[in-house]
Structure 1
Amino acid sequence: MPTHHRLPLAVGLPLAVAAGVCMPIQGRINGALGARLEDGLAAAVVSFSTGLVLLAVLCLLLPTARRGLRRVVPALRDRKFPRWYVLAGCSGAFLVLSQAETVALIGIALFTVAAVTGQTVSGLLVDRLGWGPGGRSPVTGIRVISAVLTVLAVAWAVSPKLILGGPAGAWLLPVLLPLAAGFLQSFQQALNGVQTMHYGSPWPATLINFVVGGALLWAAWGIKVAVAGVGNPLPAEWWYYLGGPIGCAFIAVAAVLVRALGVLQTGLGMISGQILGSLLLDLTVPAPGTVITTATVLGTLLTLLAAVLGTLPWQRHPFRNR
């Protein structure tokens, strides 16, 4: 098994923040593409397909990627980890689909706050189950408080949509999609981290993610086309096709950092990047349908505070059965 490497916090944490910033940028691009095509599923297919092509080229060119790919079959054959871990890409496919379907409706800040809520809650479960490369971590009282505070913060951030967004059905489903996508994200990062530990490189797990997620999206889109036909033609602007490459960078960096920094510190950096980046995007270049009020800003910042609270290193006392 490859040795476990640690990164200095001063190096790893800025990388985690930068990776987190990638998510709202990817979400804005995929959301804009979904609105342009009038087909969120087609936009997700485009995003995954461009990412897959880029990854295939990188895996052919990079010696570390080629060495890692040669370890995939032996790792699966020797059952170094449960074989269903390779299905982690299904979570990524759902995340990209939710971006393409909802960002244009609710704005990237609200999307990210909902996704972070799901990620915070599922992070407790993933740590408790021990599915990540660091093994099982105790559920502490401060982390439970953090999760509850995050949910309350999201309710505050969502309140402008409740007041200004018309009937609840018009915004409730779009908010539930990123909430579910965020919940699955912790599992995806944990499973990818375990695979990366055994492959010795993040590229094989990233490539497998895009192969599995892309196959799922192509199959779903094929069914949709057979029933409803195709949507609008692909746009000529080049920036619509950056969602896939950005997703490659996010997944690869997350797989490395979860192993090198640990789940808690990686989560702190990425959630910070997501929250700050998404709010900045909505304030500077708001998408149609975006609602920004004082409650949105303060609720978003409270979500960030809750994320920081839940990942501080001074947690000591796990809950025990009495």
Structure 2
Amino acid sequence: MVKVPQSSRPLSITTSRAASLPLLTGLILAVATGLVIPLQGRINGALGAKLDDGIAAAVVSFTTGLVLIAAIGLALPKGRAALRRILPALKQRSFPRFYVLAGGIGALFVFAQSFTVSLLGVALFTVAAVTGQTLSGLLVDRTGMGPGGRRSITGVRILGSVLTIAAVVWAVSPRLGAAADVGTLLLPLLLPVVAGCLVSFQQAMNGTATVHYGSPIAATVVNFVAGTVILWIAWLIKLLLAGPGHGLPAEWWYYLGGPMGCVFIGLAALLVRSLGVLVTGLGMIAGQLLGSLTLDLVLPSPGTVVALPTVLGTLLTLFAIIVATLPWPKGALTSRNRARALAVGSGRQDRGERPVG
């Protein structure tokens, strides 16, 4: 039997309690976190087009994010304490060591944004990424990989997931009509699907690491270190093979993608403890659609038209979250339990008993 060092136990317990949030509060935070994703995607996509280099855009995004989150971690006393716990947690094998590579998943997602948004359009990218993330969220919760423990795949959770995917397809359907032939985009579509699938694993890995580090700041720093290293290596290889793209732009807003990634990764690592991976992902997807709708209204791209399906699809996503998170009675959706309830009620009436409730 492996004994857990005494020094590591209080950290996990206290952090676990601190990370617990009421369901409504957690959902509001998840939706708010998702609001930044469309803006980050538009910025990274625009930077990739400006540089004519999707990898370089991802490098810029991750490097600026790393600088910011490292500065925050070093400036705050709790951040410094959490950073000091990283190496002891790894030495004690408090969680699988490969969890530190979760930042590589973030790097893949940012690269997918920078490389494929200009090719697929925001609509197809969103459908592909959301489909992957929603389906893998069920699997990750079932395995118990996240800090919230194992969560069963129930009929209600499957229904909420299916409704979410349908809602996203409905919301972006006006843009899909103007897209190129989907058959010719099959291979480019696989990249956001795979990236979306891996995002659920990234959130679970970061959430577990946060429990042991004592703060999402440390998990975010580790993410950005891993992602930045991987992207720099990829960009240097690309530089040797294909040469550089265009120079860095002077406009300051091109460099906001990294800071937005800090918000996304840090809050996601905090929320999966309370909500689980699937519900955290659904909340962020709802925020993503709300953010996209707001962008289309406030800062529309050329040719953007806000259609009724976009609004209704966004509302359906919010309904899907309610379906997936309400405390439904176990087996409420099965015909066997409904038949049993009817039989019990019928028996009570035959005996002259009043039905309960």
TM-score w.r.t. the length of structure 1 is 0.89
Structure 1 distance, partners of 2:23, 2:139, is: 25
More displaced 10-residue stretch of structure 1: 288-297 or 162-171: 288-297
More displaced 10-residue stretch of structure 1: 129-138 or 10-19: 10-19
Are residues 18 and 159 of structure 1, via their aligned partners in 2, closer, same or farther at CA, if it must alter by over 3 Å? closer
Q: Could you tell me which residue of structure 1 aligns to residue 74 of structure 2? A: 60
Query: What letter is aligned with 1:102?
Result: T
Are residues 113 and 313 of structure 1, via their aligned partners in 2, closer, same or farther at CA, if it must alter by over 3 Å? farther
Structure 2 distance, partners of 1:156, 1:14, is: 23
Note the C-alpha offset of 1:39: 1.1
More displaced 10-residue stretch of structure 1: 72-81 or 274-283: 274-283
| C-alpha RMSD of the superposition | 2.7
Residues 193 and 258 of structure 1 are in contact (CA less than 8 Å); yes or no, is this contact kept in structure 2?
Answer: yes
Structure 2 distance, partners of 1:291, 1:167, is: 21
Higher relative contact order (CA 8 A, sep 6+): 1
Note the C-alpha offset of 1:204: 1.2
Structure 1 distance, partners of 2:332, 2:96, is: 28
1:26 equivalenced with 2:35 (yes/no)? no
Are residues 117 and 315 of structure 1, via their aligned partners in 2, closer, same or farther at CA, if it must alter by over 3 Å? farther
Residues 24 and 278 of structure 1 are in contact (CA less than 8 Å); yes or no, is this contact kept in structure 2?
Answer: yes
Note the C-alpha offset of 1:105: 3.8
Match 1:259 to one of 273, 276, 293: 273
Q: Could you tell me which residue of structure 1 aligns to residue 101 of structure 2? A: 87
Match 1:206 to one of 215, 220, 228: 220
Residues 124 and 176 of structure 2 are in contact (CA less than 8 Å); yes or no, is this contact kept in structure 1?
Answer: no
Map 1:162-181; keep pairs closer than 5 Å: 163-181=177-195
Q: Rg larger in 1 or in 2? A: 2
Q: Could you tell me which residue of structure 2 aligns to residue 309 of structure 1? A: 323
Note the C-alpha offset of 1:75: 1.1
Mind listing any 5+ residue stretches in structure 2 that lack a counterpart? 1-10, 334-357
Residues 293 and 306 of structure 2 are in contact (CA less than 8 Å); yes or no, is this contact kept in structure 1?
Answer: no
Query: What letter is aligned with 1:223?
Result: I
Structure 2 distance, partners of 1:146, 1:306, is: 5
Per-residue Cα deviation, 1:234-253 (whole angstroms, up to 9, x for no partner) = 10000000000110111111
Q: Secondary structure at the match of 1:164?
A: coil
TM-score w.r.t. the length of structure 2 is 0.80
Map 1:177-196; keep pairs closer than 5 Å: 177-196=191-210
Q: Could you tell me which residue of structure 2 aligns to residue 245 of structure 1? A: 259
Match 2:245 to one of 210, 231, 254: 231
Query: What letter is aligned with 2:249?
Result: P
Note the C-alpha offset of 1:44: 0.4
Q: Could you tell me which residue of structure 2 aligns to residue 120 of structure 1? A: 134
Q: Secondary structure at the match of 2:116?
A: helix
Structure 1 distance, partners of 2:181, 2:276, is: 42
Note the C-alpha offset of 1:224: 0.8
Mind listing any 5+ residue stretches in structure 1 that lack a counterpart? none
Structure 2 distance, partners of 1:41, 1:48, is: 11
Match 2:54 to one of 40, 43, 57: 40
What is the aligned-residue identity percentage? Answer: 63
Work out the number of aligned pairs and report it: 320
Structure 1 distance, partners of 2:176, 2:126, is: 17
Are residues 158 and 260 of structure 1, via their aligned partners in 2, closer, same or farther at CA, if it must alter by over 3 Å? closer
Q: Secondary structure at the match of 2:35?
A: helix
